Chains A and B, each alone.
Chain A
Amino acid sequence: MVPVNEAIQFIHLDPLSVGFLFLVGLIGGLVSGFIGSGGAFVLTPGMMSLGVPGTIAVASNMCHKFPKALVGACKRFKYGQVDIKLGLVLAASAGVGVQAGIRIQHFILDRWGPAGSDLYVSLSFVSILLVVGGYVSRDAWKTWKSGGKEQVSALALKLQKIHLPPMIHFKTANVRISLWFTVPVGFATGVLAATIAVGGFVGVPGMIYAMGVSSLVSTATELVIAFVMGLAGTINWAAYGMVDIRLTLIILAGSILGVQLGAIGTTYVKEHTIKTVMATIMLIVAFSRALAVPIYLHRLGLVSLDSGILGVLDRASFVTMCLALGTGAVIIVGSMILGWKSAHTTLEPGYAEA
């Protein structure tokens, strides 16, 4: 453990990198307060670009994730949006998913080396986010066109009708469903969390479309899952001495401010806005990871590319990733302002003019 110790202690923090981490923490917090997850996909590569070793970046990011999720979950619990029981049930199966995800990663790492592992991560990012993000955006579009009224998906209605004991009643989510149908959602969340560090990209759509939970409650409940998994992950990493508490605290300074703002934001917007933000971020992130695929193909010797092009692709991929987060934040703040305005103008003159 000594080399890791020393490596951590020599990470240099200048004002610029502190500012960068704070800002990304703030925006990432805002997004995750709103859609339940986000930020990690920019923070980890962001820290690595500052010269932080990969494992330490992952560990420090995870250590900031669970207190942030805790604060966000508490805030949204106050608004009556969190289903703690659902969160804990899903977190349990997500724990199994994480273990499975780690096994798969190890297997690929042994077989094809680091570049193969990176390629696998990127391809999972692209394929899953394209499919799920595409579906969510289509649904958001449909909801928006039909006047903002969220419909429970046909799949969820069908699954809710199947009586397969044990049946569980989730009070806040207002859903009664068999435990067996929650397991795949939790498991997939865990596998994805272990693979691309953002389990919520599958967990939240899973809750919405497979279980019939509203997007407001599912994004809030995702914070409970993130807290449980983040805490377990952090204990694991910290036991190996991998957490750089300075990095964690700098990010936390921004993200706790952001997560509360995001949580407040959910009370001002229509439900399809949450889906729109989620879908937009997913699709831009998918594009960003697609840009990085040629780099790993090059490293594996499957294609050969000029080093200049590789550099450009690498940078473009990172910039697009930041763009994803930024776009999400802009939509959130924008719709919050609109919601705030309409709450204060339509209510004031009464419904005669509303």
Chain B
Amino acid sequence: MTKDDPTNQSAGKGSTERRKILVVGTGDAFSEETVSYAVHLAERLDYDLVALSVDESGRRGYPDRWAAKAAGTLKRRAAQKGIRCEHAVKAGDPGWAVDELQHEIRRIEFVVTDLGVNREEVAREVGIPMFSVISGSMDSKGGTDMTKEQGVPRKRPVARTLAYGLLTAAMYGAVFWNADAVMGTFTRGGWYAAFPVGTVFLFSFAHGAFAANLWSLLGIEARKKPVLRETEPKASRKKKSAQKRPRAYAYVNPFHRIDKA
């Protein structure tokens, strides 16, 4: 039995422990459908992923190397989406392996089982919701999986970069080709100030779009999940109507006779 030491987590201890989806597979690698499904689910729910490869035969010679290979695609795809993914390998029965891992890693809240995993076997041991990936991209009714990722790998914006690049170049050409006339008009002052101001707005639109597409074409894109909002509690406005005023109650007992007292 080998695992990537999931108990030795450096992040997410105590109350900040992140919720996780466990992905269970028995083959040499996770199927494409399972990888898409799990990554997409984790992205939408903002969960981490834990991959578990179960070696049912229990006779593999190089479990370490096998472990590194088995979850490669899943880890890579999770990393692209900024999702944490760790991987564990266990030998033996899948149900027993899941149960054991649940004791080692806290906050596993779903189980996604790969093609080929005996669903009943796992379900006997596991008391948390379980989803099983059972077929290809089409389900039995002919519909597509709602959580399947669309367009992976992403298309690079070659056409748009070219189009905006040509537009920008044409605009630069137009200005510098007629530099004398342009300069004559643009420097007349007064209301002619609208010319230079309008021109730079147009250029910032065309060139801005070109530059954005160019960087994305070159693979330079912003990190998906900037850690922005983790700072302090919200400094929200106090609600005016929120406070309840204490009410004075007068309790009248109809059976109480004043004249007797």
Q: Which residue of A lies closest to B186 (CB)?
A: A245
What is the bound-complex CA distance between A79 and B6, given in angstroms?
Answer: 32
Binds B, one of A2-10, A138-146, A289-297, A301-309: A2-10
CA distance A352 to B23 in the complex (A): 16
Q: Is the CB of B204 within 8 A of A257?
A: no
A-B contact pairs, 8 of them (CB 8 A): A4-B187, A66-B200, A75-B212, A152-B232, A243-B193, A350-B85, A354-B10, A354-B84
> Does B188 reach chain A (CB closer than 8 Å)?
yes
Known contacts being A8-B187, A67-B203, A352-B4, is A238 close to B196, with CB within 8 Å? yes
For A75, A81, A243, which residue has the most chain B Cβ atoms within 10 angstroms?
Answer: A243
- Residue B214 at the chain A interface, CB threshold 8 Å: yes
Q: A239-B190, A243-B186 are in contact. Are A351 and B12 (CB under 8 A)?
A: yes
In this complex, the interface size class of chain A, counting residues with CB under 8 Å from chain B, is 35 or more
Minimum CB–CB distance from B48 to chain A (whole Å) comes to: 8
Do the beta carbons of A214 and B86 come within 8 Å of each other?
Answer: no
Q: Is the interface of A mostly helix, strand, loop or mixed?
A: helix
Contact B223–A351 (Cβ < 8 Å): no
A246 within 8 A of B: yes
In the complex, the answer to whether B223 meets A348 with C-beta atoms within 8 Å is no
0/1 per residue, B208-238, Cβ < 8 Å to A? 1001101100001111001011011011110
Which one of A8, A160, A351 has the highest number of Cβ atoms from chain B below 10 Å of its Cβ? Answer: A351
Q: A44-85: which residues lie under 8 A (CB-CB) from chain B?
A: 63-64, 66-68, 70-71, 74-75, 78-81
Q: Complex: how many Å from CA A150 to CA B222?
A: 21
Chain B nearest CB, measured from A102 CB (Å): 18
Q: Is A252 an interface residue (CB 8 A)?
A: yes
Taking A231-B197, A349-B75 as known contacts, 20 extra A-B pairs with beta carbons closer than 8 A to each other, sorted by chain A number, are A8-B187, A63-B197, A67-B203, A67-B204, A79-B226, A152-B232, A169-B236, A234-B200, A238-B196, A243-B186, A243-B193, A249-B172, A256-B211, A261-B220, A267-B226, A347-B78, A347-B82, A347-B84, A348-B76, A350-B4
Residue A181 is within 8 A (CB to CB) of chain B in the complex: no
**Is B2 engaged at the interface, CB distance under 8 Å to the other chain?**
no
In this assembly, does B40 line the interface, its C-beta being within 8 Å of a C-beta of chain A?
A: no
A208 at the interface (CB under 8 A from B): no
Nearest-Cβ distance from residue A214 to partner chain B, whole angstroms: 7
**Interface-forming stretch among B90-98, B146-154, B176-184?**
B176-184
**Tally of A-B residue pairs with Cβ under 8 A?**
177
Contacts of B4 on A, CB cut-off 8 Å? 349-350, 352-353
Measured between beta carbons, the chain B residues less than 8 angstroms from A234 are: 193, 196-197, 200
Query: Chain B contacts of A216 at CB under 8 A?
Result: 226, 228
Number of interface residues of B (CB under 8 A): 61
- From A244, A257, A347, A350, contact of B183 by CB (8 A): A244
Give Cα A169 to B87, complex, Å: 44
Contacts of B64 in A (CB 8 A): none
- Minimum CB–CB distance from A148 to chain B (whole Å) comes to 10
* A3: min CB distance to chain B, Å: 11
- Please name all residues of chain A whose beta carbon is closer than 8 Å to the beta carbon of B212 when the two chains form the complex: 75, 260
- Residues 79-123 of A, flagged 1 when their CB comes within 8 A of B and 0 if not, give 111000000000000000000000000000000000000000000
B201 nearest CB neighbor, chain A only: A67
Chain B CB within 8 A of A178 CB: no
Asked if A183 CB lies within 8 Å of chain B CBs, one says: no
* B94 → chain A closest CB, angstroms: 21
Whether a CB of chain B sits under 8 angstroms from the CB of A253 is yes
Query: Is A238's CB under 8 angstroms from B197's CB?
Result: yes
Q: A1-23: which have CB < 8 Å to B?
A: 1, 4-5, 8-9
Which chain B residue has the least Cβ–Cβ distance from A173? B235
Contacts of A169 in B (CB 8 A): 235-237
Chain A nearest CB, measured from B231 CB (Å)? 7
Query: In the bound complex, what is the Cα–Cα distance between A74 and B211 (angstroms)?
Result: 13
Tell whether, in the assembled complex, residue A267 and residue B79 are in contact, meaning their CB atoms are under 8 Å apart: no
A268: interface (CB < 8 Å): yes
Complex interface: chain B residues within 8 A of A253 (CB): 172, 207
B189 touches A350 (CB 8 A): no
Chain A residue nearest to B86 in the complex (CB) = A350
CB < 8 Å: which of B85, B175, B195, B226 contacts A249?
Answer: B175
* Nearest chain A CB to B218 CB, angstrom units: 10
Tell whether A174 pairs with B172 under 8 Å between CB atoms, given A260-B215, A348-B79: no
Please pick, from A176, A239, A257, A264, the residue contacting B193 in the complex, using a CB distance under 8 A: A239
In the complex, chain B residues whose CB is within 8 Å of the CB of A264: 215, 220-222
Q: Is B8 an interface residue (CB 8 A)?
A: yes
List A contacts of B10 (CB < 8 A): 351, 354
Chain B residues within 8 Å of A78, by CB: 222
CB-CB < 8 A to A353: which residues of B? Answer: 4
Name the residue in B9, B176, B204 with the highest tally of chain A Cβ atoms < 10 Å from its Cβ.
B204
Decide if A245 touches B196 in the complex (CB within 8 Å).
yes
